[in-house]
A and B are shown apart, each in its own frame.
Chain A
Amino acid sequence: MKLEIKNINKSYKKGTVKALDDFTVTLTPGVYGLLGPNGAGKSTLMNIITDNLNADSGEVLYDGENIKKLGKNYRSILGYMPQQQGLYDDFTLNRFLWYMSALKGLKKKDAKEKITSLLKTVNLTESAHKKLGGFSGGMKQRALIAQALLNDPEILILDEPTAGLDPKERIRIRNFISEIAEDKIVLISTHVVSDIEFIAKEIILLKEGKLISHNTCNSLTKEIENKVFEVEIDKENLKYFQDNYRVSNLSHSEDKIIVRIVTDTSPKDYKIQKVKPTLEDLYLYVFEGGK
């Protein structure tokens, strides 16, 4: 099972905004983290994969066949959770999930089983008969996740699934996703690096529509192995560091400040300690260029 995304180009507003630029990647079962700043083209890519949007050129192949040709068959193995939170406010969660099962063409018996277990998974059984309009942001988000999983999808596309979730729910969902991801292709876009740091098989870095890098977490962080430092500085120097280095973290210790920086050239004259890079450091390194 694999999903090939080949040479996708997509521009908006008659070519003035290039959302995706010759984007190519091949996905196999496992979790993929899609990282990129706002406007990088993540949602655009997901809309193309879910056949909601036509690419200007290029194609998406599922096991070697164009998804447009597969049509219904492709969509029946697809689970998609879009980014925006607009929902049917007058639907109760129960009705919403049944409606989605209808859209996914489930049988009544399967649907019932699935809905009951998914409600437990996302911890919303208590709210099953509340109207979606009265849901909090995080509850809506969880309802959307449940919906995406209804048909046991082989391809699961999640656009910022953890936005607005509290830490407890975030961990819960993260663990659940990694649990079910074994035989599925899961593509998660997010700004919260820690969400995917440990569960993602591979990370895809996207910037202004271009594929920057595509590799496992470890080998990506290896790239900046010798570039992350912790520096102990005085308060007066903080401004200087913020202006000249990518500061990924700050912490106070007594009257000193410890800044964590990602840089090609390490600063001299300071008390420096090399540290193990994380994905967050990589993110900064890639997307906050020039320093």
Chain B
Amino acid sequence: MKLTLYEIKKVISQKVFITILVLSLLMNGFILSYTQLNKSDNYKLSHTKSYSEALSEYSSLSTDKATQKIKDKLLAYEILSDFQVLATTDDKRMAKDSEKALKEYKKNNPQAYAEAEKMSKSGEDFSNEKQMLEDISDQLEYIQFYPDFINEMDERAERQSKAKLFNDENSFSYKNLFKTADDYRALQGTKLEIGKITNVLTVGEYKISDYLVVAIIFLMCIYLFSFERDKGLYNLVRSTRKGRLATILSKLVSLGILTFLVSVVFTLSNFAVSACLYGFDTMNVNIQSFAEFRNCTLPFTVGEYYLVFILSKASSMLAFSGIFALFFGIFTNAVLKYIACGGIVGGELALYFFISADSPLSFLKYINLFYFSDTFSLLSTYLNLNVFSFAVNILTVAFVTIIFILVVSSSIVAVIFVKCNQQLRKNKADLIIESFKKKFCKINGSTRLISGESFKFFLQNKYAVFFLMLIVFSVFNCFGQEEYTYSSKSDYIYKIHMEYLEGEVTTDKLNYIKEKENYIKKLESKLNNSEFSDGMMGVITNTIENESNALYKIKEQYNRIKMLKQQGIEACFVDENVYGVFVSDPRREWMSFAFLSLILIVSIPSINTCEYKNNVICLIRSNKNGKLKLWLTKVMIGLFSTILSFICAYIPYIIRFINTYSLKCLSYPLNVIEMFESGKTISILGALYVELISYLFVAILVFSLVTFIAVVTKNNLISMLLSTVVIFIPTVVLNRNENLRAGNIFESNFIMPMVIIITICLILAVLFITLAGKRFTGTGFTQLRRSYETGN
């Protein structure tokens, strides 16, 4: 017990571990909320309050009454849409149909009709409310149908058992059929109510935290099983009285405990983030009340489900820890360990994703670590597996498999540890390489500082791998589509027009504009015509407004094009929304900047801190080029990494955007867009370049700040942490700030602001670099000793 506590303390007292844990928790929450916030048309997000109010309103009614009430409401929305069609369409037949329908509604459903009329006059957008009601109504419908579904199971079993296929009482199919029926019979009479389980679904679908936890388990295995072995401490440990079985068991137990805790913390934080966004779920309702859990045979309420979810997630993570521990026990070689663990994770992931449910190999999909850790599907689907022609529920299988993995791997690891020599043998591959080198390599190298420094940064500190991954990531990022969400109806209309109009001005296009003008005029004349009811008038006014807004935007742009033409500048029609976003989008700008600064925060400090970590700073600084020149070399490497990261962070988006909208007007003036009307004449591409240049200088500023922090703190992790606080967190907080960003500079004369931005960045960057350089080359290190004594 005491040993176990020591082992746990060993892991927890690692600063690296705690930092990584905290950072990944933050990242996990950030990604979860970011993906949720970015879901367009998510009424659950914007109407949290009215959604819960509606739920409590309808759940207090009987199912039939609630259904009826919602039906009435939905009818009103339907009538509303007819109003809209009738008022705005050009198509005579459609208009007639709608008119007829409306008359009918007025006669049969005067109440709903009146309501629709009221809504149409208000001119608001009701699609969210409608979606909400539809969802509730779906749930009500499902609740009514559920008893039939359960009863049907029994009947079906009876019926099917008579079929030929199910003749053999010992066959899996036969057993499965009756087991299924039995399991569902237990659910008869389950009370169903409406409610919401947004958090359950959100957290259930979210996979990132699983991957993070798996990575952290791997890290913990390194601390528990590799560290001492690598330092040759196992000989010492194993020679003590409790150094064998007790030690390895306590290591395994601590891995288990830590895994469990980490997993629970991550799941809880997921629920917490989701609850912050969506409010609380309805806790005391049976889980079968939701269509997603129709096939679930577990008799739980939502609240109990939470608990079961957290526990089963943690247990599935235990399986990972068991497998990892096994590999860490078997292999002494680091490379083999990585390959084995990576192989099993990758292999299982591939099996899980690529085997289809009806394949004969489907057991590989289901008896799979990733299926076990997909707790939501595990708990919400009903599945019996064929185990020696017995029908066994997947939950039992999962449970038994996990126990099996844990028992087998711990015993193997324990036996290996107790019996086998744990001394570190030299890696065979290394030996071969060494003897090869001894034969063929001459004493040779380069006397250029930069080659030694880059070796240190890229190869010794493994940042080559980091940047390679970054490059691969950004290449992948170049593909795919950009989504543009339209903020209003007129935006949408505008987009349709622009799809035709975009490009150079032609007479055809001018005619098109005229046509649209006429259409609006026609609508306006309809207004004067008093044959319409008030509701209709509302709808027509609305449409006129939207249409003319869109057209106005186009005509304004046409005016600007003409103006430019007078100055002898060729311009063309461009979609103001798309191109506007392309050149200036606060959200994207902040996101890319946050991403970039994260890369820099992770990579830059080690350029300047590795000397302190290796205790060689004194050795280096006493040489001829060990001060200024060394410093400049380090700055060069840092700048190179900064530029590389900059490209990886900013360019993929641009390529993706161009691919999506196939922007053909990039070389035409930006100034046809209203937002940039008053600015200096510059082509869209030119603006992009200018913007990128100013971002680059901002990136360099970030680089210099991180460098400064690294030189002052002399410790990799502390400087990462500090720069996160100083740079990254403010960036995320400012995320939505529209005033504080480079894109603004085009709205007025851009040369001045641009010059100002660049000079400020340059001055600050030079300042930070000089200060850092002073510190690096200076001899005022009173803490020289301490930094390398306590440095890790």
CB-based contact A130/B448 at 8 Å: no
Residue pairs across A and B with Cβ atoms less than 8 A apart, 10 shown, are A52-B784, A84-B788, A90-B460, A91-B455, A95-B445, A102-B449, A107-B447, A108-B446, A129-B434, A151-B624
CB-based contact A52/B625 at 8 Å: no
A54-B779, A128-B443 known; A91-B460 Cβ under 8 A: yes
CB-based contact B619/A98 at 8 Å: no
CB-based contact A87/B614 at 8 Å: yes
Please name the residue on chain B nearest to A83 by beta carbon.
B618
CB-based contact A86/B443 at 8 Å: no
CB-based contact B447/A94 at 8 Å: no
State whether the Cβ of B664 lies closer than 8 Å to any Cβ in chain A: no
A51-B779, A101-B447, A108-B447 known; A82-B619 Cβ under 8 A: yes
A53-B779, A72-B624, A134-B426 known; A103-B788 Cβ under 8 A: no
CB proximity of A172 to chain B, nearest CB, Å? 20
Interface size on A, residues (CB 8 A): 53
State whether the Cβ of A144 lies closer than 8 Å to any Cβ in chain B: yes
CB-based contact A129/B438 at 8 Å: yes
State whether the Cβ of B781 lies closer than 8 Å to any Cβ in chain A: yes
State whether the Cβ of A257 lies closer than 8 Å to any Cβ in chain B: no
State whether the Cβ of A263 lies closer than 8 Å to any Cβ in chain B: no
CB-based contact B614/A102 at 8 Å: no
CB-based contact B448/A102 at 8 Å: yes
A53-B784, A94-B441, A129-B437 known; A88-B456 Cβ under 8 A: yes
Interface residues of A in 121-149 (CB under 8 A from B): 126, 128-130, 134, 144, 147
CB-based contact A52/B618 at 8 Å: yes
**Chain B window 612-634, contacts with chain A (Cβ cutoff 8 Å), 1 for yes, 0 for no:** 00111111111111111110000
Please name the residue on chain A nearest to B780 by beta carbon.
A54
Interface residues of B in 414-437 (CB under 8 A from A): 426, 434, 437
State whether the Cβ of A99 lies closer than 8 Å to any Cβ in chain B: yes
Interface residues of A in 67-106 (CB under 8 A from B): 68, 71-72, 75-76, 78, 80-82, 84-92, 94-95, 97-106
Interface residues of A in 6-27 (CB under 8 A from B): 12
For B621, the chain A residues whose CB sits under 8 A away are 50-52
**New A-B pairs, 7, CB < 8 Å, besides A88-B456, A98-B447, A151-B623:** A51-B622, A52-B618, A102-B446, A103-B620, A108-B447, A112-B444, A129-B437
CB-based contact A103/B623 at 8 Å: yes
State whether the Cβ of B507 lies closer than 8 Å to any Cβ in chain A: no
CB-based contact B619/A130 at 8 Å: no
Q: Which of B449, B615, B622, B628 contacts A52 (CB 8 A)?
A: B622
For A258, the chain B residues whose CB sits under 8 A away are none
Please name the residue on chain A nearest to B783 by beta carbon.
A12
State whether the Cβ of B782 lies closer than 8 Å to any Cβ in chain A: yes
State whether the Cβ of B459 lies closer than 8 Å to any Cβ in chain A: yes
Interface centre among B434, B437, B447, B779 (most CB of A within 10 A): B447
For A151, the chain B residues whose CB sits under 8 A away are 623-624
CB proximity of A80 to chain B, nearest CB, Å? 4
State whether the Cβ of B190 lies closer than 8 Å to any Cβ in chain A: no
A138 to B598, CA, bound (A): 42
State whether the Cβ of B481 lies closer than 8 Å to any Cβ in chain A: no
A47-B618, A80-B619, A130-B434 known; A52-B451 Cβ under 8 A: no
**Chain B window 1-24, contacts with chain A (Cβ cutoff 8 Å), 1 for yes, 0 for no:** 000000000000000000000000
A115 to B444, CA, bound (A): 9
A86 to B625, CA, bound (A): 20
State whether the Cβ of A173 lies closer than 8 Å to any Cβ in chain B: no
Interface residues of A in 175-225 (CB under 8 A from B): none
A115 to B446, CA, bound (A): 12
State whether the Cβ of B452 lies closer than 8 Å to any Cβ in chain A: yes
State whether the Cβ of A3 lies closer than 8 Å to any Cβ in chain B: no
A12-B782, A53-B784, A147-B619 known; A75-B443 Cβ under 8 A: no
A80-B619, A102-B447 known; A86-B614 Cβ under 8 A: yes
